[in-house]
A = this chain, B = another copy of it.
């Protein structure tokens, strides 16, 4: 392999591709990136055997070929180069990286030892707006479970329809659901996509103004965004039928400013470090919620947030971090908090939006 490319393009591609690289001690080649010439471009791939990332760099190819090199070494080296033109050339299992003022020999491993990254052949193809998908990822991902005891919860549900994509995540204590419009394609399909793949998807989507293409097969999913491909296995198992637990009638609703509620929960939360519990007293004739927290060690706090209450007085205890998680990902000015009673799930919905909901279980004392 021998080729010339620009630093900026190479740096960008390495940045994305290296995201699937962990630090694998049992299979050291997984710490490497596969560099391979393909149809007049340099393809850079990585995999951790669960997800794979592929990306392409425009290059002047003098001699086709392939090699793998440690991700960390090549990424750090290219990031620190100050010149724009870079020449890459394989020398046996080493990669020579050369600019006018600096040259390195990076020790590599043979490309043929790199695991095969499967290609998805069949499946349902759909296209969505990348910015909208990015927003949905942010509003959903945090509610998924990062524990391994229930594998199907350690991912995000993608429920594809003819015109809509419903994304949902839950860790059994809270549930987030977002519905977005499809631009093209569609069809009936359910898939549970691992957290890790969605985290990487979020990064690749960041700042992207184009469309994102999604291809779902029976056991894999492919996202194509901005010249980057993320391929992930799907999580096997049945996703809980969460729709049946979403309540529809709430005797109390309070509309609150997102900024004011966030600030109040942070203040009270400082006095809830032992168990994260804060108590919310919704008071109709004050048109306000009074938030209280008490700590054996630190002391106690009472904070009042003015809002608009509909329905009756109510009282409920939450893990304040669960509410903050949701508020931190809203771009609206106001939210509506809907409460049944102190032992039933409450709902947070952004004011004036009906494609997102967040359900949170109260703490029962």
A300 close to chain B: CB less than 8 A:
yes
A102 touches B303 (CB 8 A): yes
| Least distance between A18 CB and chain B CB atoms (Å) | 15
Which chain A residues (92-123) contact chain B, with CB distance < 8 Å? 94, 101-107
B299 touches A107 (CB 8 A): yes
With known contacts A80-B263, A82-B263, A266-B80, A299–B102 Cβ distance under 8 A: no
A104 partner, pick from B80, B104, B105, B299, beta carbons under 8 A: B299
B270 touches A107 (CB 8 A): no
B270 touches A73 (CB 8 A): yes
| Least distance between A253 CB and chain B CB atoms (Å) | 21
A103 / chain B contacts, CB cutoff of 8 Å: 301-303
Q: Which 5 A-B pairs have the closest CB atoms?
A: A102-B303, A104-B301, A105-B299, A106-B299, A107-B299
Beyond the given A81-B267, A102-B267, please list 18 additional residue pairs across the A-B interface where CB-CB is below 8 A: A76-B270, A77-B270, A77-B301, A80-B263, A80-B266, A82-B263, A101-B264, A102-B301, A102-B302, A102-B303, A103-B302, A104-B271, A104-B300, A104-B301, A104-B302, A105-B299, A105-B300, A107-B299
A77–B298 Cα distance when bound, in Å, is 11
| Least distance between A82 CB and chain B CB atoms (Å) | 5
Which chain A residues (56-96) contact chain B, with CB distance < 8 Å? 70, 73, 76-77, 80-82, 94
A356–B196 Cα distance when bound, in Å, is 50
A107 touches B303 (CB 8 A): no
A305 close to chain B: CB less than 8 A:
yes
A329–B279 Cα distance when bound, in Å, is 50
A266–B80 Cα distance when bound, in Å, is 7
Per-position binary interface string of chain A over residues 281-304, scored 1 when its CB falls under 8 Å from any chain B CB and 0 otherwise: 000000000000000011111111
A138–B235 Cα distance when bound, in Å, is 52
B70 touches A298 (CB 8 A): yes
A301 / chain B contacts, CB cutoff of 8 Å: 77, 102-105
| Least distance between A257 CB and chain B CB atoms (Å) | 11
A82 / chain B contacts, CB cutoff of 8 Å: 263
Which chain A residues (233-271) contact chain B, with CB distance < 8 Å? 263-264, 266-267, 270-271
Could you show 13 A-B contacts with beta carbons less than 8 Å apart? A73-B270, A73-B298, A73-B299, A80-B263, A80-B270, A101-B303, A102-B267, A102-B303, A104-B300, A104-B301, A105-B301, A106-B299, A107-B297
B298 touches A267 (CB 8 A): no
With known contacts A82-B263, A267-B102, A94–B303 Cβ distance under 8 A: no
A304 partner, pick from B77, B101, B104, beta carbons under 8 A: B101
Nearest B residue to A102 via CB reads: B303
